[in-house]
Amino acid sequence: MRELFAGVFGPGGTVRHFMSPGRVNIIGEHLDYNGGYVFPAALSLGIQALVRYHDGPQIKMRSTAYPDERIINLENPIVNDGSGGWWNYPAGVIRHLTDSGHGFTGADILFDSSLPEGAGLSSSAAIEVLTACVMLRGEPADDGERIRIAVLCKNVENRFIGVQCGIMDQFAVAMGKKDHAILLKSDTLAYSRVPFNLNDHSLVIMNTNKPRKLSGSKYNERRAECDRALAEISKRRPIGSLAEATMPEIEELADDILRRRARHVVSENSRVLASVDLLKKNDLPSFGMLMTESHRSLRDDYDVTGFELDALVSASMDTDGCIGARMTGAGFGGCAIALVKSDKTDKFIESAGAAYKKTSGIAADFYITDVADGVREIPGQ
């Protein structure tokens, strides 16, 4: 990357190196905007940036995946250009930081990603949090600063990009810790880091290779449906979030769609808390069963899986060595995860991949990745 950087921006000067992970949500899908618990972890896959600062007003950005250079002039208003291009994410972060009173000079930035684009591993949150650390010229000093960065980047997603996501993705990217997942109460930001030890099992990430774009999907529609369900329940008993509802209250909802959406939220919240207890007890088979229950709920009640994700999860569960599988991320394509005996991962990838290809006509990609630290600066070489 340093050779690429010199070829793109010219040699010389001090070049600093930053790394931001992707994230996988172990369990607890579509709860972060419903006041529930989520259980994400940062990954060793992620986005890197090489940066050289200078005194001019321009921030020049390049990606190893795309040919065009993008330039932000700090003396001009920073706006979303409406293209849906990757550069709008760092642009939004720079805009929000400047609006918050931070003053910057220029920089040359080269991004490089090992995350599959549009796969649901939070490439958008990774580049947002990464850009914040690049512009602030160092990794966060403590957890408090990491949380402030996560909140700012969530606001970028909501207000600049136009996706009404919750805080989970940015929080996991900023706050990740090696070999730990994060139990996060998304409405209060209360959190704890929980050891994530799989012993003789491996977490396999499986990309359906059906990409999704949240701003063009039904993500915002699901959020609106949950807001409507919360409003209906609150007419009978005021509650602060849909995750606080009870099953009897949900069954009283007259609208079948709202009832199913709310049923997923409440049942999934229970599965998250049960999963943490099972992992602490090292009961992986029972945890695997909860993963599979989660997928069924996302398929039948929340309606966010789709043909490809269902086919990949089904192929996984039919393969020897797999004790649990589910979609991860927002859905509508993207990735699933499977818990697989470590000595059977090669055979699992071969067999599940072949079954999925036969059913869908698409070749899936498989990743065995470590649970890693959050955003950080890598010391100079």
68 is annotated as an active-site residue: no
348 vs 250: CA distance, rounded Å: 39
Point out which residues pair with 40 in neighbouring strands.
25
The label of the residue with tokens 């774009």 reads 213
Q: What is the C-alpha separation between 155 and 268, in angstroms, rounded?
A: 25
Question: Which two three-digit tokens encode residue 359?
Answer: 């059913």
* Active-site residue, from 32, 169, 303, 310: 169
Q: Give catalytic residues, as residue numbers.
A: 169
